[in-house]
Structure 1
Amino acid sequence: MNNEIPIGSPIRTQAIINRYFVKAKKNLGQNFLVDLAAIQGIVQAAQIQPGDQVIEIGPGIGSLTEQLLIAGAKVFAYEVDDDLPEILNNELPKQINGVPIKERFELMMKDILQADFKEDLKDFFDLTKPIKVVANLPYYITTPIIFFLNESELNFASLTLMMQKEVADRLGAQPGSKAYGPLSIAVQIEMNVTEALTVKSTSFIPRPKVDSSVVVLTPLTQKPDVGDAKHFNWVVKMCFAQRRKTLNNNLKNLIPDAAERAQLIASLGVDARIRPEQLSIAQFAQIAAAIK
């Protein structure tokens, strides 16, 4: 197969699958994106410029990686599938625009949720400069990855993430929506949420049951005052512990005293029968401040 054909094209992807006997592993949530327009759309949504430092999560066979490198990025990728380093080494171009790929691409075999960014990246990136994250996330682990990235102390310029559309809808959901919950709130106290494009299920091999969305998260210039973010997010999760129950019921484990609970709920200016998805971030911040 002519390596001038992009990896993300259906014909090249199928050739790689055949050559290496690749099978998408369900336990790793693997689906190979074979829509070159969508791949290039992800790169454009991330506004990749020459010299950008990019963390990629799960490079797979290199479809997105190749386009990031062509756009001029320096890419550090995390992967857990031991079958893929050989493919990436053989199929990615040896040089791009006259620059050897080894100077702009590094692969680390590690679960992203075990990453120590400052240690992992110190010899490859300039950690005084912002870093972008670009990834086609496995559906089954999307939410833990977003929480992990959100709570890390790395200097992110943006997160451009492809995920199940249902999860993307949760990120930007507003109070009163069924999609609104701990993930929405944890992201929105830190980031602006922009849905960049929809990717149909037909763009993948094997074909998933649902469509995907590409979401761009950028740091807020002015963040809401929620106190300690980890404490705040924990309180929010506890408030949603039994989503279909009232706020009063969910607060019982945090505030056992009924009179104290009633006083706090009254201070929010809401009915005691309110459900947690109806509260604003500011009201959750008030609850978090009242709980030690």
Structure 2
Amino acid sequence: MAEQSSGYLGAAQIREIAAGLGMRPTKQWGQNFVVDANTVKRIVRLAGVGQDDVVVEVGPGLGSLTLALLPEVGHVTAVEVDPTLAQALPGTVGRLAPAYADRLTLVQADAMQVRELPDPQPTALVANLPYNVSVPVVLNFLELFPSIERVLVMVQLEVAERLAAAPGSKAYGVPSVKAAWYAAVRLAGTVPRSVFWPVPNVESGLVLLERRPAPSTDASRRDTFTCIDAAFAQRRKTLRAALSGWAGSAPRAEECLRAAGVDPRTRGEQLGIDEFAAIAAARAALGPTTPGD
């Protein structure tokens, strides 16, 4: 196999490794491999990670981003669902970046099923995420691993825009509000289709999340997220109507909203995470519903 002294994988090397493994990218696992060295360098730069960081990478695939991360950070824990790719990655790193092979830990698992990771615990999530699981992976990892301070992920551009959207904007929705519980979120850039093999049917975007304290509220994250889901399930309705089932009745929803300082005629797309947390706290303070409510 041809090897690059730089340690980065180009299109020819990616196809060569894949052919040697007898595999082709599958839609089932959302596999689109980055074949451009400048793109993975850009991801690492925008992630702002350094030698003090432990990066968890979800979906390392054939190793393009892994090879770019290893010289720059203290450790990489790579979570790969495809058993063939998981088995091959340490060998690829050993050939192309032998000086950094001891910085890699491979976890062969479905990221959606991961509940714990081996030490050292991650300080950052940096990944080219499979589009079909990108939002739940980001939210789950922020919930499960409070040590993660920064997230830089490449996802479908539409998803990146949703995650980074502000209240009142067209793209604003459930992912936007839930991500804001954990972090300040912004769109960090776009990525052309041409850097992938195979070339996807959609544009990609880079989204940066920097952890911040959760809203100051007596409501739990779970209760707040349930409120958010209810508000956006009927997003064209006013919150008085949309939250009536969640609160127990329309009058009770209005009571919760007024207690939280929110106009009952407001729609969910106009509120930020702090307002939703206040509404959830108001409902908890009112206590359980009764038949007369």
CA contact (8 A) 1:7 1:13 kept: no
Identify the residue that residue 132 of structure 1 maps to in structure 2: 124
Identify the residue that residue 155 of structure 2 maps to in structure 1: 163
SS at match of 1:90: helix
Identify the residue that residue 8 of structure 1 maps to in structure 2: 9
CA contact (8 A) 2:142 2:148 kept: no
Cα distance in 1 for partners of 2:52, 2:275 equals 42
Residue 226 and residue 209 in structure 1: after superposition, are their counterparts in 2 closer, same or farther (change >3 A)? Answer: farther
SS at match of 1:217: strand
For residue 61 of structure 1, report the CA deviation from its aligned partner: 0.5
SS at match of 1:177: coil
Kindly report which structure 2 residues correspond to 1:173-252, keeping only aligned pairs within 5 A, or say none: 173-220=165-212, 222-227=213-218, 228-252=220-244
Identify the residue that residue 92 of structure 1 maps to in structure 2: 93
Per-residue CA deviation, residues 170-205 of structure 1 (Å, 9 max, x unaligned), is: 112111112112211111122121322211111111
CA contact (8 A) 1:254 1:291 kept: no
Cα distance in 2 for partners of 1:258, 1:90 equals 60
Cα distance in 2 for partners of 1:95, 1:58 equals 19
Cα distance in 1 for partners of 2:273, 2:217 equals 8
For residue 153 of structure 1, report the CA deviation from its aligned partner: 4.0
- Decide which moves more: 71-80 or 263-272: 263-272
Cα distance in 1 for partners of 2:111, 2:24 equals 22
Kindly report which structure 2 residues correspond to 1:262-281, keeping only aligned pairs within 5 A, or say none: 262-267=254-259, 268-270=261-263, 272=265, 274-281=266-273
Residue 276 and residue 215 in structure 1: after superposition, are their counterparts in 2 closer, same or farther (change >3 A)? Answer: same
- Decide which moves more: 190-199 or 167-176: 190-199
SS at match of 2:247: coil
SS at match of 1:89: helix
CA contact (8 A) 1:161 1:214 kept: yes
For residue 166 of structure 1, report the CA deviation from its aligned partner: 0.8
- For structure 1, the residue ranges without an aligned partner over 5 or more in a row are none
SS at match of 1:83: helix
Per-residue CA deviation, residues 118-164 of structure 1 (Å, 9 max, x unaligned), is: xx313xx1x4xx61111110000011112201222431121111111
What TM-score comes out, normalization by structure 1 length? 0.88
Cα distance in 1 for partners of 2:48, 2:194 equals 25
CA RMSD after TM alignment: 2.1
Paired AA for residue 111 in structure 1: D
- For structure 2, the residue ranges without an aligned partner over 5 or more in a row are 285-293
Identify the residue that residue 65 of structure 2 maps to in structure 1: 64
For residue 87 of structure 1, report the CA deviation from its aligned partner: 2.7
Cα distance in 2 for partners of 1:261, 1:193 equals 29
Residue 218 and residue 269 in structure 1: after superposition, are their counterparts in 2 closer, same or farther (change >3 A)? Answer: closer
Per-residue CA deviation, residues 184-227 of structure 1 (Å, 9 max, x unaligned), is: 1111122121322211111111111111111121112x543243
For residue 7 of structure 1, report the CA deviation from its aligned partner: 4.7
CA contact (8 A) 1:162 1:212 kept: yes
Question: Do residues 147 (structure 1) and 139 (structure 2) align?
Answer: yes
CA contact (8 A) 1:226 1:232 kept: no
Residue 95 and residue 12 in structure 1: after superposition, are their counterparts in 2 closer, same or farther (change >3 A)? Answer: closer
SS at match of 2:168: coil
Aligned residues: percent identity?
33
Identify the residue that residue 113 of structure 1 maps to in structure 2: 112
Paired AA for residue 186 in structure 2: T
SS at match of 2:77: strand
Cα distance in 1 for partners of 2:255, 2:72 equals 56
Residue 93 and residue 153 in structure 1: after superposition, are their counterparts in 2 closer, same or farther (change >3 A)? Answer: closer
